[in-house]
Structure 1
Amino acid sequence: MGCGKCEHDHKHKHHSKGCVCEVVRAIKEIQDIGTDDDCATCSTSCFMEPLGGIVSPGRRNQFDTRVFMLLTKNGDPFKAFYRDRDRHDTDCFSVFFRVEEVFDNCCATLRVLEPRKRSGEEVDLVDCTHTTIDLKKICATRRFRSTESCITVDLSCFCGVQCIDDVFLDIC
């Protein structure tokens, strides 16, 4: 069994697109359409509807983004570069995303989200070598800010998706 793929049934020659594709597609639909479904048992389930259900069912109409992370085949968070609006630092990498579009079965355009502390200041996720993400620094992230940086990815290359939060970023 490979990452993001299901072993095919030799009898029926059936292949799966991969669950990451389906989860990200579901996140996009939830961002686009609200429903009145009951809450799921896992408080951060990516399938929780409607948007806002992860945070507070009573405030559901105040959210426009489901923040998520993608995990590589070895379990590391996928990171992407973004252009920092304030230009206060040079290590502008994030592991947090918003889905903008899903197309061609399993491709997606993702907006890179800037990690912020509760106080509003940026969280520099890169370690002292400036080459890898410091996993402990991810925990300092409590807020998110939209960036103008997007990345197009093949979702079948990832093994996991973890939903983090429902937030309002004032994105049309």
Structure 2
Amino acid sequence: MGCGKIGDVTDEHRSRNCVCDVVRAIKDIQDQATNDECPQCPTNCFLEPLGGLVSPASRRQADTRVFMLLTKDGDPFKAFFRDNDRFDCDCISVFFRVEDIFDGCCATLRVLEPLDRERKEVDLLNDCGTKIDLRKLCKVRNFRSTGSCVTVDLECFCAIECIADVFLDVCD
């Protein structure tokens, strides 16, 4: 079971992981292009079709559901990406797009570069460059696809937060 939980659990519960289920649902949603009515809860990761987290008008434009994963300590999971700008050090992100799910609960995630309203890079690190500055997450309004991917065991995470549905023009 995810989050390092130990104890008496049935085999049925041992094989289930909500983060894995949500990421699997996001992948299914991204693979579909349906025009259903918007459900009532606008921040639910299970919303279909893509575009539901943003607005009904942007449904045709969305090809990615951006999300964050949280560790058992409640910290955002972070990954490195190759930055095209060689003159700065803002190469860490907490934002992802699911690319593939395999072996039950493993996934390949594309790291997304965080951008502000003007589509400029947002450096998420604190002044020392050692930790994520959670206040800087509020500056993120846009995303750019990177060429960096990470393979994860989804059972190692305790929470997932869907951020936005966006168009990144990612080839599937």
Global fold match (TM > 0.5): yes
- Letter of the 1:152 counterpart: T
Partner of 2:65: 66
What is the aligned residue count?
A: 169
Partners of 1:32 and 1:151 in 2: CA distance: 20
Partners of 2:69 and 2:2 in 1: CA distance: 16
- Letter of the 2:62 counterpart: F
Q: CA deviation at 1:2?
A: 5.9
Seen in structure 2, the aligned counterparts of structure 1 residues 36 and 127 have a Cα distance that, compared at 3 Å, is: same
Q: Are 2:31 and 1:28 aligned?
A: no
Partners of 1:22 and 1:97 in 2: CA distance: 16
Seen in structure 2, the aligned counterparts of structure 1 residues 57 and 40 have a Cα distance that, compared at 3 Å, is: same
After superposition, give the CA deviation of every residue in 1:42-90 in whole Å (9 maximum; x if it has no partner): 2111100001111111331111100000000011100000010122312
Q: Are 2:82 and 1:83 aligned?
A: yes
After superposition, give the CA deviation of every residue in 1:132-158 in whole Å (9 maximum; x if it has no partner): 100000000000000000000000000
Partner of 2:108: 109
Seen in structure 2, the aligned counterparts of structure 1 residues 2 and 119 have a Cα distance that, compared at 3 Å, is: closer
Partners of 1:46 and 1:59 in 2: CA distance: 17
Question: Mean alpha-carbon deviation: is it higher for 80-89 or for 142-151?
Answer: 80-89
Partners of 1:96 and 1:20 in 2: CA distance: 15
Q: How does 1:1-172 map to 2 (within 5 A)?
A: 3=3, 8-9=9-10, 13-14=11-12, 15-172=14-171
Equivalent position SS for 2:3 = coil
Q: CA deviation at 1:163?
A: 0.2
Q: CA deviation at 1:5?
A: 6.1
Asked if 1 retains the 8 angstrom alpha-carbon contact of 2:2 and 2:155, the reply is no
- Letter of the 2:79 counterpart: A
State percent identity of aligned pairs.
66
Unaligned runs of 5+ in 2: none
Equivalent position SS for 2:144 = strand
Partners of 2:44 and 2:19 in 1: CA distance: 13
Equivalent position SS for 2:165 = strand
Partners of 2:31 and 2:4 in 1: CA distance: 25
Q: CA deviation at 1:4?
A: 7.3
Asked if 2 retains the 8 angstrom alpha-carbon contact of 1:91 and 1:130, the reply is no
Compute the TM-score of the two structures, normalised by the length of structure 2.
0.92
Partners of 2:42 and 2:143 in 1: CA distance: 19
After superposition, give the CA deviation of every residue in 1:72-121 in whole Å (9 maximum; x if it has no partner): 00111000000101223123100000000000000000000000010111
Partners of 1:23 and 1:112 in 2: CA distance: 18
Partners of 1:106 and 1:46 in 2: CA distance: 17
Equivalent position SS for 2:126 = coil
Seen in structure 2, the aligned counterparts of structure 1 residues 128 and 47 have a Cα distance that, compared at 3 Å, is: same
